Amino acid sequence: MLVSDFPKVINLQFIVFSSSMSVRVFPNNFKFGVATAAYQIEGAWNASDGTTGDDACKSYEFYKRDIKMIKFLGVHFYRFSISWPRLFPNGFTNKISEDGRRYYDNLIDELLANGIDPIVTMYHWDLPQSLQDLGGWANPLIADWFEDYARTMFSLFGDRVKTWVTLNEPKQIGIFGYGMTRFAPGLDMAGIADYLAVKHMLLAHARAWHVYDKEFRETQQGQYLTPNI
């Protein structure tokens, strides 16, 4: 269905059917949300550093269309992730992609214009290759790199984003990516690399939390969530 096919007046009522088929209606103050990840939807691989994301859902080009569909669903929140390599192609905050910043600025502004609150996941598994070449989450310096990354995101978007999530499913990254070969980087070093990765993800989360608490919370008045485990 195209967005243009949506009815102009929509009255959605969210209901749940129990095993006995009786209808239970959510309370009026219950808030709904939807979530995506940058690598799963953005596409536009050649608008960043050349790392392939293929086309995906082409949300990089058609984010306004996607927001119209989100609004049609009647949800209150949209959780999306910021792609670390799209915003900082070399992995470090000394070089920012203006295209990347413009995209996320426009996405956040469009959500707010449609009455949808943005929830930002800082890291949903797309680590810049340059940082992975230095050891990725097995390198203790990544806590410093993530702290710089978080500080820059708060500076760029924290005036409008009031809810933040640090890491999406760190357990999966550590176990399946560093202890096994199921996820990238597929190191298959159980008992060594997975423990290092988990330790450094915890440190990275703590660094980002303290940056927000000390430098941004008073002025931005946002909330900071735990990692999405």
Residue 229 lies in a domain: no
Kindly report, residue by residue over 97-132, the tens digit of the pLDDT. Answer: 999 999 999 999 999 999 999 999 999 999 999 999
Q: Do you find a cis peptide bond into 185, omega within 30 degrees of 0?
A: yes
Q: Decide: pTM greater than 0.75.
A: yes
pLDDT at 50 over 80: no
**Closest residue by Cα to residue 51 from 149, 134, 130:** 130
For the chain, strand residue ranges (E) read 15-17, 23-25, 33-35, 77-81, 117-123, 163-167, 223-224
Residue 15 lies in a domain: yes
The pLDDT value recorded for residue 188 is: 94
pLDDT at 215 over 90: yes
Residue 150 lies in a domain: yes
Residue 101 lies in a domain: yes
CB 99 within 8 A of CB 57: no
Residue 135 lies in a domain: yes
Kindly report, residue by residue over 79-104, the tens digit of the pLDDT. Answer: 999 999 999 999 999 999 999 999 99
**Closest residue by Cα to residue 163 from 35, 30, 26, 40:** 35
Q: How many structural domains does the chain have?
A: 1
Kindly report, residue by residue over 186-212, the tens digit of the pLDDT. Answer: 999 999 999 999 999 999 999 999 999
For the chain, the maximum distance between any two Cα atoms, rounded to a whole number of angstroms, is 59
The pLDDT value recorded for residue 197 is: 97
Supply the range of the domain harboring residue 203. Answer: 3-224
The pLDDT value recorded for residue 59 is: 81
Kindly report, residue by residue over 3-45, the tens digit of the pLDDT. Answer: 344 334 334 444 555 555 677 787 888 877 777 766 556 565 6
Residue 66 lies in a domain: yes
φ/ψ (deg, to 5) at 52: -70, 130
CATH of the domain at 108: 3.20.20.80
